[in-house]
Amino acid sequence: MAEQHDDDGKRGVLFDVDGTLVDTNYLHAVAWWQTFRRFGHDVPMSAIHRTIGMGGTTLIEHLLGTDRETGQDDAIKDTHAALFSAQWPSLRAFDGARDLLLHCADSGLAVVLATSASEEELAVLRQVLDAEAALIGATNATDTGISKPSPDILEAALETAGLKPDEAVFVGDAVWDVIAANKLGMPTLAVTTGGTSEAELRDAGAARVYRDVRELLNAIRAGDVPELIKGARQ
């Protein structure tokens, strides 16, 4: 017999930002590539791109290995941040990003940003999105000290919204997003705008994959995304 539990209809949606709502992934890849070169590391840009979505320390460890000179890590992260900040004036939200956030909020869903971006970068990204009225909060690696693919950021976002994992979904663009949500038993609605293919996202366990947030928004409006119908449960 299926487990019975009360359902007050409370639902929410957590959003990754980089590569999902704002077109930044390739800018991050270039900034990391330039940074590694400055520190004497010749890391292929294709390898860097596949790690975008991880937090800085996790990304560095993944690309340079556990036997690296860890004393450089903070300087590497600071250099990446400085190089990426030069791109802030040109950052643009994806078509439909603001509309999607507002539509979810207007539908009665709790909307929270959950990102590996730094506090300073997150403030810039929120300005780019221009959808503060839709948000009940935002969490990043600063809140937990641990970034994706660890689920800590998502757990903090759920706490912000007062939600349990089965009362929310995560919208992201990277395999790391899907892995983090999977660890909590929370479904991921993925988009391919970060440069990860539909096949890779599905193989990682994404519940549904969309070309971009505009296509996701259209699907929600058509009633084709049961995970985002307020009151529905998996």
Confidence at residue 146, expressed as pLDDT on a 0 to 100 scale: 64
Measure the CA–CA gap between 94 and 15, rounded to whole angstroms.
13
In a domain, 7, yes or no: no
Asked if residue 215 and residue 101 are part of one domain, the reply reads yes
CATH number of the domain where residue 64 is located: 1.10.150
In a domain, 96, yes or no: yes
DSSP 135-146: -SEEE-HHHHS-
Nearest to 216 by CA among 182, 176, 171, 181: 171
Question: From the centroid of its chain, how far is CA 9?
Answer: 25
pLDDT tens, position by position, 35-61 = 999 999 999 999 999 999 888 888 999
Measure the CA–CA gap between 199 and 183, rounded to whole angstroms.
20
List of E strands, the chain? 12-15, 110-114, 137-139, 168-172, 188-191, 208-210
Confidence at residue 80, expressed as pLDDT on a 0 to 100 scale: 97
Confidence at residue 55, expressed as pLDDT on a 0 to 100 scale: 83
In a domain, 42, yes or no: yes
Asked if residue 195 and residue 133 are part of one domain, the reply reads yes
Helix (H, G, I), strand (E, B) or coil at 152: helix
In a domain, 166, yes or no: yes
In a domain, 3, yes or no: no
Asked if residue 126 and residue 215 are part of one domain, the reply reads yes
Measure the CA–CA gap between 89 and 51, rounded to whole angstroms.
24
* pTM across the whole model: 0.91
Domain count, the chain: 2
Measure the CA–CA gap between 131 and 140, rounded to whole angstroms.
17
In a domain, 2, yes or no: no
pLDDT tens, position by position, 179-211 = 999 999 999 999 999 999 999 999 999 999 999
- Strand 12-15 to strand 208-210: parallel, antiparallel, or no bridges (unpaired)? unpaired
